[in-house]
């Protein structure tokens, strides 16, 4: 929001100098909205004829579930496990003082200084949130760059843009210990750096929430990542037990879990064996600026296809150029050099997630670069750059920038 207010001021709007943010109001509205959504889900289940049992469930065998503390057991012919994941915190001296994303929106007040630890989408999103709300924000990650698994250009471009917006990024480093003092939480890093913050938020990964489910009693196997092992139809090694969503650690996105569950229902209850296709799933990182991607990264495409054509553009959108802003957008296309089929699309910039949804439709349908380019550009938009990139990108070492 401070960034947006500055842009508004540059466009001529006045009275934007002293904005204030009410953390308590935000938390209240968040709770109201979550309650509203939960109420809708409960009503939909009730209207569908589902019986809801509230409590922690544990398998006793392949057909029996016990509600812990309620002395109640339920038997079922078929069982679906969809319990999701849970944040993971490494153990080190002082780790008991940190919070996770679970507690971030339950803090009694907005911290003035916060360190977010991690390099994945949850870490960069929370760094952007707290920085945007006015907190002095540091992002600490042990790796060489943020967003491991994303395209390398996306990773470096986003890091640069985040730093432009005031987020301090420390890479290749991790905690030795945290001390709780009157001045705040003092982070001692293995590099020798020492930094004091009001809150340290660890977003260092989420694991499948398999503890306490009684999977061993039912004979359900885990894979080498500690998630429930399933086949292409989401079936476990136990004939009558299935699992979907983050607890299987395939693609950990809410829409994917929903589609996996829909495929399960088609297979099991409608006698229509259905596999969910995990290829070309669009995803977004709601960072500052946001990221939208679908398909293969450049590295993945080169490994799988060998000959790959790259089209890339880094530019100031018209809005930023108008007011002299420094924001830059990255757009990148990855194309099969032989068939000219579009293999991946990567966007870093405002509205990137909105744009990528439509790009995902085209890529899922197998669009070629020639078909993509035949689309008329919509001017003036940032998205028009996607269909006007005609020159293949060659790295500077090959003589073309």
What is the structure's pLDDT at 16?
A: 67
First-to-last alpha carbon distance for the chain, in angstroms, is 35
Single out the residue of 52, 45, 81 nearest to residue 240, CA to CA.
81
What is the structure's pLDDT at 5?
A: 75
| Active-site residue set | 379
Q: Where are the domains of the chain?
A: 24-87+208-269, 95-204, 283-398
Looking at per-residue pLDDT, the higher value among 149 and 321 belongs to 149
Pick the CATH number of 24-87+208-269 from 1.10.357.10, 3.90.950.20, 3.30.70.3400, 3.50.50.60: 3.50.50.60
The phi and psi torsions of 224 (rounded to 5 degrees) equal -70, -5
Domains 95-204 and 283-398 share a fold: no
What is the structure's pLDDT at 1?
A: 64
Rounding to the nearest 10 degrees, give the CA dihedral for residues 94, 174, 289, 35.
Answer: -30
Question: DSSP 3-state assignment of 286?
Answer: coil
DSSP 299-352: HHHHHHHS-EEEEEEEE--HHHHHHT----EEEEEEEETTT-BEEEEEEESTTH
Fold adopted by 95-204: FAD/NAD(P)-binding domain (3.50.50)
What is the structure's pLDDT at 136?
A: 98
Indicate if the pLDDT at residue 401 is higher than 70.
no
The phi and psi torsions of 165 (rounded to 5 degrees) equal -90, 5
Identify the band that residue 59 occupies on the pLDDT scale cut at 50, 70 and 90. Answer: very high
What is the structure's pLDDT at 92?
A: 97
User: What tens digit of pLDDT does each residue of 117-154 get?
Assistant: 999 999 999 999 999 999 999 999 999 999 999 999 99
User: What tens digit of pLDDT does each residue of 234-270 get?
Assistant: 999 999 999 999 999 999 999 999 999 999 999 999 9
Taking the C-alpha atoms of residue 396 and residue 357, their distance in angstroms, rounded to an integer, is 31
Indicate if the pLDDT at residue 400 is higher than 60.
no
The kind and range of the H/E element at 152 are helix 152-164
Q: Cα dist. 397→306, 313, 383, 394, 400 in Å?
A: 19, 18, 29, 8, 7
Indicate if the pLDDT at residue 14 is higher than 90.
no
Fold adopted by 283-398: Enolase-like; domain 1 (3.30.390)
What is the structure's pLDDT at 398?
A: 53
Task: Give the pTM.
Answer: 0.92
Q: What is the mean pLDDT of the chain?
A: 94
Single out the residue of 90, 91, 98, 101 nearest to residue 203, CA to CA.
101
Lowest mean pLDDT among 18-27, 152-161, 340-349: 18-27
Indicate if the pLDDT at residue 161 is higher than 90.
yes
Identify the band that residue 397 occupies on the pLDDT scale cut at 50, 70 and 90. Answer: low
Using alpha carbons only, give the angle 85, 52, 245 rounded to the nearest 5 degrees.
Answer: 25
User: What tens digit of pLDDT does each residue of 349-373 get?
Assistant: 999 999 999 999 999 999 999 999 9
Q: What does the pLDDT average to over 204-217?
A: 96
Identify the band that residue 96 occupies on the pLDDT scale cut at 50, 70 and 90. Answer: very high
User: What tens digit of pLDDT does each residue of 296-314 get?
Assistant: 999 999 999 999 999 999 9
Largest CA distance in the chain: 73
Indicate if the pLDDT at residue 3 is higher than 90.
no
Taking the C-alpha atoms of residue 75 and residue 77, their distance in angstroms, rounded to an integer, is 7
Identify the band that residue 281 occupies on the pLDDT scale cut at 50, 70 and 90. Answer: very high
């Amino acid at each position: 929001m401070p960034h947006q207010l500055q842009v508004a001021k540059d466009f001529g709007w006045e009275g934007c100098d002293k904005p204030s943010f009410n953390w308590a109001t935000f938390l209240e509205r968040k709770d109201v909205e979550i309650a509203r959504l939960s109420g809708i889900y409960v009503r939909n289940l009730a209207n569908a004829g589902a019986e809801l049992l509230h409590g922690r469930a544990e398998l006793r065998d392949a057909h029996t579930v016990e509600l812990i503390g309620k002395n109640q057991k339920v038997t079922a012919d078929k069982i679906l496990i969809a319990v999701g994941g849970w944040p993971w915190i490494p153990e080190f001296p002082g780790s008991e003082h940190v919070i996770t994303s679970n507690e971030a929106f339950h803090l009694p007040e907005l911290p003035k200084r916060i360190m977010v630890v991690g390099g994945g989408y949850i870490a960069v999103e929370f760094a952007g949130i707290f920085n945007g709300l006015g907190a002095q924000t540091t992002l600490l990650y042990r790796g060489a760059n943020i967003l491991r698994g994303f395209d390398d250009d996306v990773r470096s471009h986003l890091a640069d843009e985040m730093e432009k917006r005031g987020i301090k990024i420390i890479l290749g480093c991790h905690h030795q210990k945290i001390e709780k003092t009157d001045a705040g939480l003092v982070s001692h890093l293995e590099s020798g750096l020492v930094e004091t913050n009001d809150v340290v938020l660890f977003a260092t990964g989420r694991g499948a929430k398999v503890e306490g489910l009684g999977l061993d009693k039912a004979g359900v196997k885990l894979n080498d990542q500690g998630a429930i092992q399933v086949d292409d139809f989401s079936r476990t090694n136990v004939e009558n037990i299935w699992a979907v969503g983050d607890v299987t650690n395939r693609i950990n996105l809410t829409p994917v879990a929903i589609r996996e569950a829909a495929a399960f229902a088609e297979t099991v209850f409608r006698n229509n064996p259905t596999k969910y296709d995990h290829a070309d799933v669009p995803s977004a990182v709601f960072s500052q600026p946001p990221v939208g991607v679908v398909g293969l990264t450049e590295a993945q495409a080169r490994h799988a296809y060998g000959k790959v054509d790259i089209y890339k553009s880094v530019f100031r959108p018209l809005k930023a150029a108008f007011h002299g802003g420094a924001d830059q957008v990255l757009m990148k296309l990855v194309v099969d050099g032989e068939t000219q089929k579009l293999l991946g699309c990567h966007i870093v910039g405002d509205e990137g997630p909105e744009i990528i949804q439509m790009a995902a439709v085209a890529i899922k349908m197998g669009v070629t670069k020639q078909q993509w380019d035949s689309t008329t550009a919509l001017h003036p938009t940032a998205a028009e750059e996607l269909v006007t990139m005609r020159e293949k990108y060659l790295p500077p070492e090959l003589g073309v920038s």
